[in-house]
Structures are given as structure tokens and as C-alpha cells.
Amino acid sequence: MQVVAWSTPENPAWRWRIVSYSGDHIEESHEQFETIAAALAKGAKRLRDMNLTDRSVPASPLRSGYRPRGR
């Protein structure tokens, strides 16, 4: 699993999110942080505390998720 951090122009504070290797959203913070480093550190601590095993299968980089609709 990975911890990612993000902010938006509307809300420049940083938050963390835990995602599996297949891209599934596991958990995200409601708490806001001034720096990306602080958000990632807190998210990494939460991931360690959760003690989960990621059994998901990573999405293939060679296979597109695009599926055209029939006519």
C-alpha cells in the first residue's frame, strides 16, 4: 500500500490518503497539515498502525481501462 498526499487550489492544506497497489482507496485524513512532509509522516504512521496486508493485484500498465461503447 502507498500513502499519498494532496492539496487543492481551493484548500492549500495537505491531507493524506492510503491506497492499495490496485488503486483502491483505503482511508484518508480529515485532518489538514501545513506541509506535505507532515501529511505523509502522519499517513505512514496510520498505515503502520493499521497493520494491513495488501493482497490486491496491481493494474497492468499495458492494459488500458478504456472500453469504447458499441454503436
Place of cell 461503447: 69
Backbone angles phi, psi at 3, to 5 degrees: -110, 130
Query: What mean pLDDT do residues 9-28 have?
Result: 92
21 pLDDT above the threshold of 90: no
Nearest Cα neighbor of 2 from 59, 40, 49 is: 40
71 pLDDT above the threshold of 60: no
User: Using one digit for the tens of pLDDT, what is the confidence trace for 45-67?
Assistant: 999 999 988 887 766 666 666 56
**Is 30 within a domain?**
yes
| Residues recorded for the chain | 71
Positive or negative, the Cα torsion across 37, 11, 21, 61? Answer: negative
**Is 28 within a domain?**
yes
**Is 41 within a domain?**
yes
**Is 60 within a domain?**
no
Which residue range is the domain that position 43 belongs to?
A: 2-50
